[in-house]
Structure 1
Amino acid sequence: MKIYNFEDSLLTDTQRGIEIVAPHLKKVEGIYGYVDSSFDDSYIPVISGGGAGHEPSDWGFVGGNMLTASITGKLFEPPMPEEIIKVAKAVTKKKRAFFIIKNFEKDVRVFKQAIEYLRNIGWSIEYGIVNDDISVDASSLRKYRRGLAGTILIEKIIGTLAKKGKSLVDLKMVCEQLLPETKTIGLAFSDSILYKKSCHTLSLGKDDIYYGIGIHGEAGYRKEHWQKSELMAREIVNKMRLNFRWQKKENVALLVNNIGKISPMEELTFTADITELLELEGLNIPFIKTGSFMTSHDMSGISVSILRLQDKWLEYLKQPSTCYAWPNSI
Structure 2
Amino acid sequence: MLTASITGKLFEPPMPEEIIKVAKAVTKKKRAFFIIKNFEKDVRVFKQAIEYLRNIGWSIEYGIVNDDISVDASSLRKYRRGLAGTILIEKIIGTLAKKGKSLVDLKMVCEQLLPETKTIGLAFSDSVLYKQSCHTLSLGKDDIYYGIGIHGEAGYRKEHWQKSELMAREIVNKMRLNFRWQKKENVALLVNNIGKISPMEELTFTADITELLELEGLKIPFIKTGSFMTSHDMSGISVSILRLQDKWLEYLKQPSTCYAWPNSI
TM (norm. structure 1) is: 0.80
User: What is the distance in 1 between the residues matched to 2:130 and 2:231?
Assistant: 13
Moved more, 320-329 or 164-173: 320-329
Report the CA distance between 1:69 and its aligned residue: 1.2
CA distance in 1, matches of 2:113, 2:11: 26
Q: Report the 3-state secondary structure (helix = DSSP H, G, I; strand = E; otherwise coil) of the residue aligned with 1:186.
A: strand
Instruction: Report deviation, 1:193.
Output: 0.4
How far does residue 273 in structure 1 lie from its aligned partner after superposition?
Answer: 0.2
Aligned-pair CA distance for 1:325: 1.3
Percent identity at matched positions? 99
Q: Distance in 1 between matches of 2:139 and 2:5?
A: 33
The 4+ residue runs of structure 1 with deviation greater than 4 A are: none
C-alpha displacement of 1:197: 1.0
- Whether 2:50 is the aligned partner of 1:140: answer no
Secondary structure of the structure 2 residue equivalent to 1:70: coil
DSSP 3-state at the match of 1:97? strand
For the residue of structure 2 that corresponds to 1:257, the secondary structure is strand
Q: How does 1:239-254 map to 2 (within 5 A)?
A: 239-254=174-189
CA positional deviation for 1:270: 0.3
| CA distance in structure 2 between the aligned counterparts of 1:163 and 1:85, rounded to whole angstroms | 21
The 3-state SS of whatever aligns with 1:111 is: helix
Query: Using the alignment, how far apart are the partners of 1:92 and 1:199 within structure 2?
Result: 41
Compute the displacement of 1:118 (Å): 0.3
Q: Output one character per residue of 1:37-79: Cα deviation in whole Å (capped at 9) or x when no partner.
A: xxxxxxxxxxxxxxxxxxxxxxxxxxxxx11111111111111
Post-superposition offset of 1:115 = 0.3
Q: 1:104 aligns with which of 22, 34, 39?
A: 39
Q: Deviations over 1:143-188 (max 9, x none)?
A: 1100000000000000000011100000000000000000000000
Deviations 1:194-222 (A, max 9, x none): 12111100111110010000000000000
* Structure 1 Cα separation of the partners of residues 122 and 25 of structure 2: 37
What's the CA shift string for 1:210-261, capped at 9, x where partnerless? 0000000000000000110000000000000000000000000000000000
Partners of 1:91 and 1:228 in 2: CA distance: 46
In structure 1, list runs of 5 or more residues that go unmatched.
1-65
Question: SS at 1:69's partner residue?
Answer: coil
For residues 192 and 279 of structure 1, the distance between their equivalents in structure 2, rounded to whole angstroms, comes to: 33
| Separation (CA, whole Å) in 2 of partners of 1:284 and 1:112 | 38
Shift of 1:324: 1.2
